Structure 1
Amino acid sequence: MLVLLPPSEGKTAPPTGGPTLDLGALSAPTLNPWRERVLDALAEASRRPDALEVLGVGAGLADEVARNTGLRTAATAPARRVYSGVLYAAAGLDRLTPAQRARATAAVRIVSGLWGVVTPEDLIPAYRLSMSTTLDGVGALASGWKHHLGPVLEADAADGVIVDCRSAPYAAAWRPAPASPWVAVRVVREHEGRRTVVSHHAKHTRGLLVRHLITRRPRPPRDADALAGAAAELVGTALTSTPRPDDATVPRVLAVELGAPPRSGARQLSLVVS
């Protein structure tokens, strides 16, 4: 099983005094030459007067953009702690037993505009960079990484199912081979008999699925049908603990549906929420 995640926009900066960035210690060392180029291009872009415009962020993130200029000497922490957005809060990769943490390290890959791909245990600093960005010297990040991620992720995928929880900009950086058991996870809301794609609970629900796949006791699913069966174990799960998990108004997972195999691309696994 290979679980593909996007990074979170929300990041927790590691405390000062910790280990600084060591590219040589990151997983997938064959990516380091391109990581070096992106690091340098990001630092240069973040020093520009129009840095916020180049990186596509608002004035409220100016401090995070300024932090990009010193990433090589910045304090680091495991990626599972640095990425702290909605999906990661629900996945709880920082709240695992040692055995579960080893399973997450083997199965979970975080696709990043800066690092290409990292495991939850890779030591990284907090940064600000989206995969949809274009940087001088490297071009569009998704296109650039597409030439480097294939060999790494194809080796990681081996012959297991690929559980794709990435958003569109990050999915553009690598597409599995057509014959791969590739399943894209989407979340839809059901209300009064109608279904619509949702964003509010989508990240949280994907995070719940990731945690379930990592922490459940049976062997990891190896194909799409087994994945759907594992996901179906979430039916009835509350999407939040407030005001109370047993409150009828709390959104829950209602159903799990696996689409038919397409001629090309990913098979769809839909998590239906109330």
Structure 2
Amino acid sequence: MLILLPPSESKSTRSRGKPADPAELSFRELVGPRRTVAAELAAVSARPDALEVLGVGASLAEEVAGNLRLDTAPALPVRELYTGVLYDALDLAGMDTAARRRAGRWLVVVSALHGVLRLGDRVAPYRLAMNVTLPGTGPLARFWREHLDATLTTAAGDGVVVDCRSSTYAAAGSPRGAAAERWVQVRVPGASHMAKHTRGLVAGHLCRTGATPRTPEQLAEELAGDFTVVGLTGPARPGKAWVLDVTAE
């Protein structure tokens, strides 16, 4: 099984520690694209109009300045880096050993800077969102889609792909071919805060129970025990995702 998560704008920091080593990150095929985005981000972050280009306010100026120190800033494991509503609900720290191991195998975070990351990867805090357009890459979602489609297809293997991303990050890549037939987007009716919370609960539930549904229908059945499954809708056309509407009970 592959569970796709969005990153979080809020991130933990460290005052001490070793910097990230790009050569040690998972998905080695993304070394080139990661280098391209990192160079573009550094160049933009040094410009007078950096805040405008990155789409953030003055209160985040220090975080943008931190983009100039990514090679030297202390790095954190992805499991500790991202915080916020979804990650609070996921509750990695509260998992037992078996659940944490499953999370390490199944969970993948889609990142505007790094493409995709596993929980054990170590990276520095950064400020960059997938809806940004960098001068040298164009729209980041389109840039990453050219690279992540193949990566996600391989990572999916023969299991269900549980997509807990927001629409912004879902646009950055998707499984193709046979893997797309087992690709399920988790949709939550209502406000974005509740959507993040429920998607975190879904991902955490799967890791804790160790359930390994092989089809979208089996995924819906598995979640029905702890969630209100509103409905499962087949793909709008070949190559598109199934949609599973769920709410937390």
Q: Which amino acid aligns with 2:232?
A: L
2:131 alignment counterpart: 132
Matches within 5 A, 1:140-179: 140-177=139-176, 179=178
- Closer/same/farther in 2, CA of residues 41 and 260 from structure 1, 3 Å limit: closer
1:213 alignment partner, SS class:
helix
**Post-superposition shift, 1:150?**
2.2
- Closer/same/farther in 2, CA of residues 158 and 256 from structure 1, 3 Å limit: same
% identity of equivalent residues: 47
- What's the CA shift string for 1:50-96, capped at 9, x where partnerless? 11100001111111111111001111111111100110110012333
1:56 alignment counterpart: 55
Matches within 5 A, 1:102-251: 102-177=101-176, 179=178, 180=180, 181-188=182-189, 197-217=190-210, 219-235=211-227
2:4 alignment partner, SS class:
strand
Which 4+ runs in 1 deviate beyond 4 A? Answer: none
**Post-superposition shift, 1:260?**
3.6
Say whether the 8 Å CA contact 1:231–1:256 is kept in structure 2.
Answer: no
- What's the CA shift string for 1:135-159, capped at 9, x where partnerless? 1222211111112112221111011
Kindly indicate whether structure 1 or structure 2 has the higher relative contact order, using CA contacts under 8 Å at least 6 residues apart: 2
Q: Distance in 2 between matches of 1:33 and 1:261?
A: 33
Q: Distance in 2 between matches of 1:119 and 1:273?
A: 26
User: Which of 1 and 2 has greater Rg?
Assistant: 1
2:231 alignment counterpart: 257
* Number of residue pairs matched by the alignment: 246
- Closer/same/farther in 2, CA of residues 133 and 182 from structure 1, 3 Å limit: same
**Post-superposition shift, 1:261?**
4.4
Say whether the 8 Å CA contact 2:148–2:174 is kept in structure 1.
Answer: no
1:12 is aligned to 2:1: no
Say whether the 8 Å CA contact 1:209–1:234 is kept in structure 2.
Answer: no
1:93 alignment counterpart: 92
Structure 1 segments unaligned to the other structure (5+ residues): 189-196, 236-253
Using the size of structure 2 for normalisation, the TM-score is: 0.93
1:132 alignment partner, SS class:
coil
Q: Distance in 2 between matches of 1:95 and 1:69?
A: 34
**Post-superposition shift, 1:29?**
1.1
Say whether the 8 Å CA contact 1:228–1:256 is kept in structure 2.
Answer: no
Structure 2 segments unaligned to the other structure (5+ residues): none
Using the size of structure 1 for normalisation, the TM-score is: 0.85
Q: Distance in 1 between matches of 2:248 and 2:98?
A: 30
1:2 alignment counterpart: 2
Q: Distance in 2 between matches of 1:30 and 1:94?
A: 30
**Post-superposition shift, 1:4?**
0.7
1:48 alignment partner, SS class:
coil
**Post-superposition shift, 1:26?**
0.4
RMSD: 1.5
